[in-house]
Amino acid sequence: MEEIVDYLYTKGIDLRYYDQSFIKRRIDNRLRVRRLENYEEYIKLLCHDNNEYRELIYSLSINVTEFFRDKDTFYSIGKLPFNTEYIKIWSAGCATGEEAYTLAIIMEEMSRVKGIRYKIFATDRNNNAIEYAKKGVYDIKLLSNISKELLERYFVKYDEAHYKVTDTIKYKIEFNVGDIITSQPSNNFDIIVCRNVLIYFKQNIRDELLIKFHRLLKEKGYLILGRSEIVTNTSVNLYKCIMPLERIYMKI
């Protein structure tokens, strides 16, 4: 497995920060798909088969997402107090865009009531995922958590099986390719949303990312994690948990 990780590093794919068990599960799955016996056979295939290389890279990307995943968390964002009329958000590890567009819907609903303005910066290391997100076209099956009212307000029918997000929210989001570890976005974010991403990294990298998020947040800015993630002991003095179930923290 180390040889595979080293080979990918020469191709510009740095997996040194990822949890070993996560990498192993994804590689083992590719072995089963290709009906290979061991890693030695697989690395020979990987070095000579561009299609398999692309399949492995895709499988190592974290693209499991949907609109309003854990919807209580997103509706809680709309109840948070802000001391500004312009809200700046970073959706870190946005995958194919569902999370970023969900945030935009929540912000638009807040804007209708409170007149706030906002901008969302959404990044992911997977270029294909970002290109998909920019199009804003989604299968109707992914919209099951969206109410009929919000669907009519923020989506238009694209074809029999797909809907497209409206320009109203599309132009409020800036999608870019960026690795969550190495990218250096501008600071002064009011909200950083990084849900179901930290669990794939080694513990020391999780700690470093929590410190990085603290640096990038405004005073009393909010960090929102996934349901299976928490602020670790190393960073417990950096954040105050204000909504434990929703994993919403405030910078201190």
| Mean of pLDDT values over 16-33 | 87
Domain ranges of the chain: 2-60, 71-251
Q: Average pLDDT over the chain, rounded to whole?
A: 90
| pLDDT computed for residue 215 by the predictor | 95
Count CB atoms within 10 A of the CB of residue 145. Answer: 15
pLDDT at 61 over 80: no
pLDDT at position 104 is 97
User: d(Cα 185, Cα 111) in Å, to the nearest integer?
Assistant: 25
> Element (H or E) spanning 21, and its range?
helix 20-34
Span 71-251 CATH architecture: 3-Layer(aba) Sandwich (3.40)
Instruction: Give percent of the chain above pLDDT 70.
Output: 98
Identify the band that residue 169 occupies on the pLDDT scale cut at 50, 70 and 90.
Answer: very high
- 30: tokens are 């590719």
Counting Cβ atoms within 10 Å, is residue 203 exposed (0-12), middle (13-18) or buried (19+)? exposed
Question: What's the pLDDT score for residue 126?
Answer: 84
- Give the pLDDT band of residue 245 (cuts 50, 70, 90): very high
Q: What pLDDT does 64 receive?
A: 59
The CA-based angle 231-234-238, given to 5 degrees, is: 65
CA distance 139 to 162: 4
Contact, 66 vs 97, CB < 8 A? no
pLDDT for 27-47, tens place per residue?
A: 999 999 999 989 999 999 998
Output the DSSP codes for 89-105.
EEEET-TTTHHHHHHHH
pTM of the model: 0.83
| Enclosing H/E stretch for 75 | helix 71-77
pLDDT of residue 60: 77
CA angle 23–32–5, rounded 5-degree value? 30
Spell 214-226 as b/e; 16+ CB within 10 A means b.
Answer: bebbbeebbbbbb
Write the pLDDT tens digit of every residue in 79-137.
999 989 999 999 999 989 999 999 999 999 999 888 899 999 999 988 888 999 999 99
pLDDT at 187 over 80: yes
Over 80: is that where the pLDDT of 4 sits? yes
| DSSP characters over 165-228 | E-HHHHTTEEEEE--TTT----S-EEEEEE-S-GGGB-HHHHHHHHHHHHHHEEEEEEEEE-TT
pLDDT score of 175 more than 70: yes
Q: Is 89 exposed, middle or buried (0-12, 13-18, 19+ CB in 10 A)?
A: buried
